[in-house]
Amino acid sequence: MDFAIRGQQIEVTDALKDYVDKRLSRLDKYFDIPPATEGTVTLSVTRGIHKVEVTIPLPGGIFLRAEDRSDDMYTSIDSVLSKLERQIRKHKTKMNRRFRQDESLKGLFVDEGANASVSPSTDEEEDELQVVRSKRFLLKPMDVEEAILQMNMIGHNFFVFSNIESETVNVVYRRNDGKYGLIEQE
């Protein structure tokens, strides 16, 4: 598996690139055929905190994503690797079972996660709400359990999907108590 490694407010040295490649190459053992897609690794430093973000797109529009912050870049890389390994082990069996049961399921995952953010304007003179980010994506039908799985794999707190059972647009979200909620349209 190949990774595009980039730095924000940090120079990515050859030693750092080699360490990232060496550590993340351990993920190959979890796949029958390593994904042909290129993952992205972003290394950044802000106020002495070293942050590592890794996103790995998989076939079927599935994304594995993990991030970690610490005082040391190498520690952050190791922690991200551990998080990705846990995520893969947790979801691999479930995904393989689903793919075996329904071959057409491979085309049912959403291509991109939903993440539209709306925030009120901070300028007191403006009374309007301002959209600061907009995202378009294709809704593919899936059941609630698949939507929760996809939401967890991309690391979001909510996920918009087309419910295969009710044929309506629904939203699953992670509650503060760690459980999940479902918003359905009437």
Q: Sign (positive/negative) of CA torsion 85, 163, 142, 144?
A: positive
Number of Cβ atoms within 10 Å of the Cβ of 137: 14
Between the two ends of the chain, the Cα-to-Cα distance in Å is 44
- Those residues whose C-beta lies under 8 Å from the C-beta of residue 108, and which sit 6 or more positions away, are 60, 140, 141, 142, 146, 164
Average pLDDT score over the chain = 78
User: Which is more confidently placed, 64 or 118?
Assistant: 64
Given a cut of 60, is residue 108 above it in pLDDT? no
The H-or-E segment that residue 117 falls in is none
| Residues comprising the chain, all counted | 186
Query: Has residue 97 got a pLDDT over 80?
Result: no
Q: Strand pairing partners for 55?
A: 40, 65
Q: At 102, is the pLDDT very low, low, confident or very high (cuts 50, 70, 90)?
A: low
Q: Is beta strand 129-131 parallel, antiparallel or unpaired with respect to 118-120? A: antiparallel
Spell out the domains of the chain, with CATH numbers in brackets: 2-92 (3.30.160.100), 108-184 (3.30.505.50)
pLDDT given for residue 103 in this prediction: 53
Where would I find the H helices in the chain? Answer: 14-24, 73-101, 144-154
pLDDT tens, position by position, 38-65: 889 999 998 888 999 998 887 767 778 8
| CA 74 – CA 67 distance, rounded (Å) | 13
Instruction: Give the pLDDT score at 169.
Output: 92
Q: Is 25 helix (H, G, I), strand (E, B) or coil?
A: helix
